[in-house]
Amino acid sequence: MTNDMVKTMIEDMHALAKLYRSRAYAPYSKFLVGAVVKGANGKLYGGCNVENAAYPVGNCAEASAIAAMVGDGETHIVEALVMGPEGQICTPCGACRQRLREFASADLKIHLADPTAVLQTITLGELLPMSFGPENLNR
Ligand SMILES: O=c1ccn([C@H]2C[C@H](O)[C@@H](CO)O2)c(=O)[nH]1
Ligand SMILES: [Zn+2]
């Protein structure tokens, strides 16, 4: 695969995350997040955060994207992107690191983006070292 092709694919993930971020329902925090996971099937799945008047019931963008993927019959994530507000990176919260871990290996690349660009790329293993996953339950 050429560098141009890789760039195009990240740009596709970035564009989809931006669309989903624009649909975020975050009237309480006003912190809009979009997330995209790429399945092993090559398809992209987007999600946004969905807050609730009962605050703890709110949902992270990553959780929404993962739910869309699993609902489509895919259970392996090969790449991910999380987009927060302009000028800052939004790293997945602790719970979402574990949610990603369920469907990905430690070398999963997670692109951290704002609406203008990908600002940083990190692996799941860096975000969640010595993780507990399905293998620990012989799955
Ligand atoms: O990686 C993250 C971090 C935060 N949020 C959401 C949760 C809440 O709605 C808002 C503020 O925490 O941002 C996400 O969706 N993903
Ligand atoms: Zn989260």
Is residue 28 over pLDDT 80? yes
CATH topology of domain 3-131: Cytidine Deaminase; domain 2 (3.40.140)
List, in sequence order, every residue forming a beta bridge with 80; answer none if it has no partner. 37, 110
- What is the set of active-site residues? 62
Taking the CA of 96 as reference, the closest ligand is 2
60 marked ligand binding residue: yes
pTM metric for this prediction: 0.96
Which ligand 1 atom sits closest to the C-alpha of 29? 11
Residue 54 assigned ligand-binding role:
yes
- Within the chain, strands assigned E span 34-39, 44-48, 77-83, 109-114, 117-123
Q: Nearest residue CA, atom 15 of ligand 1?
A: 60
Q: Which amino acid is at 7?
A: K
Query: What is the pLDDT confidence band of residue 138, given thresholds at 50, 70 and 90?
Result: confident
List of residues 6+ apart from 99 with CB closer than 8 A: 60, 62, 63, 66
What ipTM, to 2 d.p.? 0.99
Task: Determine the average pLDDT of the residues in 83-107.
Answer: 97
pLDDT digits (tens, 9 = 90+) for 48-77: 999 999 999 999 999 999 999 999 999 999
Give the per-residue pLDDT at 5.
73
Question: For residue 53, what are the contacts with CB-CB under 8 A and spacing of at least 6?
Answer: 28
